[in-house]
Amino acid sequence: MLTEHAFGEFYQRHVRAVWKYVYRVTGNAADADDIAQEAFLRLFQVDDLPSDDEGLRRYVFRVAGNLIADRWRKRVRDERHAAAQAEEAHPQQRDIDVARVFGELKPRERALLWLAYVEGDTHAEIGASLRLARGSVKVMLSRARVRLRDLLAARGLVDGEGE
């Protein structure tokens, strides 16, 4: 456990380096202030601290790194939650938009996608249902996915990245 005097000296020697580290990683001065303060505060919450200055320094930097990761995870969760709430506010309109886009596909593309992703049929089962060779199903299904993604992306309903 650190004495108040020892903590004050340690803080004066290392607070600037910890703040710079956090700022370089986050790019945000307010986050750097908060995280550096919290990292040093955590020294008081731990009973078994390293006894040497370098061990304490490594500990504070490790805590700061963990706090940065925690903040990023929280931010991602918050953004996902906000997006889900926005989606919940107008789900029917988006569903109607997706249904309209799905209707723009060719009948065979719709059938391939429906059997694969709604019914969960295998390529062999789809081939049997649509009287297509199993190898053709794989290629045609891939093309149908790309076409659907492109149509959805053109209307801003998906980001258009990847398959």
* Each residue's pLDDT tens digit, 86-134: 666 665 666 667 778 877 888 788 888 888 888 888 999 898 888 889 8
Which residues have CB under 8 Å from 1's CB, separation 6+?
Answer: 47, 49
Judge whether 36 and 19 are in contact, CB under 8 Å: yes
User: In this structure, which topology does domain 90-154 adopt according to CATH?
Assistant: Arc Repressor Mutant, subunit A (1.10.10)
How do the domains of the chain map onto residue ranges? 4-87, 90-154
Structure-token pair, residue 139: 């290629």
Fold agreement (4-87, 90-154): no
Mean pLDDT of 34-50: 87
Architecture of domain 4-87: Orthogonal Bundle (1.10)
Terminal-residue alpha carbon distance, the chain: 54
Q: Which helix (H) or strand (E) holds 135?
A: helix 134-154
